[in-house]
Structure 1
Amino acid sequence: MAALPPVEPRMPEGLYERRVKRALDVVLSAAALVLLAPVFGVTALLVRARLGSPVVFRQRRPGMVDPATGQERIFELYKFRTMTDARGEDGELLPDEERLTPFGRALRSTSLDELPELVNILRGDMSLVGPRPLLVSYLPLYSEEQRHRHDVRPGLTGWAQVNGRNAIKWEDKFRYDLEYVDNCTFAMDLKVFIATFKILLRRSGISSETSATMERFAGAPEEGKQGEAA
């Protein structure tokens, strides 16, 4: 992928954004890793038995924009595996809905597949709350405004997740992400955190109307899209 035009991120202004949020991320993710160690172990064993190896799915995702370069920092996201590696006669992976097993659906519905992202949070790749990290291949498709979702660290949960998760349209998802970037406060994070538990209990928004997960992002309208640098 060719280099994208640099973006000038909005710099954090409040004490919470600059210091407290990251400190809470470290303390809470470290505590969760210790307390949930038995859950990690059992889930890993079940994934190995039901889906085979590797147990942990890894994929490059864009993180927060580096102010020095104006480019998103790319990191490796960790999740428990939820799909098989089934391929068609052409050797290509089958669609998500054909590779997502009932066991994988159960992991996704409870968000247990997301637990390894606590390691990403502890490392500083992610935050507990923020816009969800999407695919690297989407970066050239964003409008200039949409790209500002990366002004903050991506999150384990976020404002878009508690307002529909995968069941809402892409334009709504980005609108919620940008609302969060503009209102990144302790009160907002607490609101998202509490709402997340309600979503998990209802197990809602896991799938879109047209996909077992979320349909691919096709891009912003041409007039608002970021062009690639030569």
Structure 2
Amino acid sequence: MQRQAGVGLFLKRFIDRLAAGVGLLCLSPVMATTALLVRATMGGPVLFRQVRPGRGGKLFQLVKFRTMLDTRDAEGNLLPDGQRLTRVGRFLRATSLDELPQLWNVLRGEMSLVGPRPLLVEYLPRYSAEQARRHDVLPGITGWAQVNGRNALGWDDRFRLDVWYVDHWSLALDLKILMLTLLRVVQRQGISFEGDATMFKFLGSSTQARPQLVPSSATPPVERCRAIR
């Protein structure tokens, strides 16, 4: 079983931060154009910020470009994702341009280029002990589950692939996932789950024991959104 530790982890983080720094510099014109497009079509704020759990359940603030409006019903509740997701938002999700601000999370050491996607804090007590092992490694902008179905996968398959990555991690595997990610972006596969605009919520596995995984630090609440990627 291969875990992220020692020299391997040092090299992974070095490569991550180097690539994130270069990426932020080289992609700054693309990010500036995307920010202007979001501002013009959806107003402010341009960025979506949300607390997510990272390695070991440690909380951090994930940043992405907004893809949804904050439209609410008469009772003040957010409308379903499909009604709030804009045409521009669909394009950003299909091309993964909405993920580019997460290079900042990578530069800060909160995320990796490759790893299980960081999900919602509310999911932590819902994981089985096996599913919770996805938090043994740094979360990523892309991952093994993302190149093998992305949001078109059900939760069981998604978590199974995440744990497989934890057990088989290597720098070579990371490189393979990055190359496959470029292919999947071009193909625009697995953007949403069948019948949903994004991905339905994970409600937990009732048949397996729960782990004692809790957030390791308190972070002020920020903007919430039902969309899960």
Contact 2:3 2:167 in 1 (8 A): no
Correspondence 1:214-225 to 2 at 5 A: 214-225=199-210
Q: Does 1:12 align with 2:8?
A: no
Residue aligning to 1:69? none
Residue aligning to 1:33? 24
Separation in structure 1 between the aligned mates of residue 213 and residue 184 of structure 2, nearest angstrom: 37
Q: Does 1:202 align with 2:187?
A: yes
Separation in structure 1 between the aligned mates of residue 80 and residue 74 of structure 2, nearest angstrom: 13
How far does the alpha carbon of each residue in 1:201-230 deviate from its partner, in whole angstroms, 9 at most, with x for none? 00110010131000000101243333689x
Q: Does 1:60 align with 2:45?
A: no
Separation in structure 1 between the aligned mates of residue 151 and residue 74 of structure 2, nearest angstrom: 30
* Unpaired segments ≥5 residues, structure 1: 1-9, 66-71
Q: Taking structure 2 as the reference length, what is the TM-score of the superposition?
A: 0.90
Q: Taking structure 1 as the reference length, what is the TM-score of the superposition?
A: 0.89
CA apart distance, 1:177: 0.3
How far does the alpha carbon of each residue in 1:132-153 deviate from its partner, in whole angstroms, 9 at most, with x for none? 0000010010001111101110
Correspondence 1:80-119 to 2 at 5 A: 80-119=65-104
Separation in structure 1 between the aligned mates of residue 116 and residue 184 of structure 2, nearest angstrom: 16
Q: Does 1:154 align with 2:145?
A: no
* Unpaired segments ≥5 residues, structure 2: 215-229
Contact 2:117 2:140 in 1 (8 A): yes
The Cα RMSD (Å) is 1.5
Residue aligning to 2:38? 47
Residue aligning to 1:7? none
Identity fraction in percent: 54
Three-state SS of the structure 1 residue aligned to 2:30 is: helix
Q: How many residues align?
A: 213
Separation in structure 2 between the aligned mates of residue 96 and residue 29 of structure 1, nearest angstrom: 30
Separation in structure 1 between the aligned mates of residue 36 and residue 106 of structure 2, nearest angstrom: 23
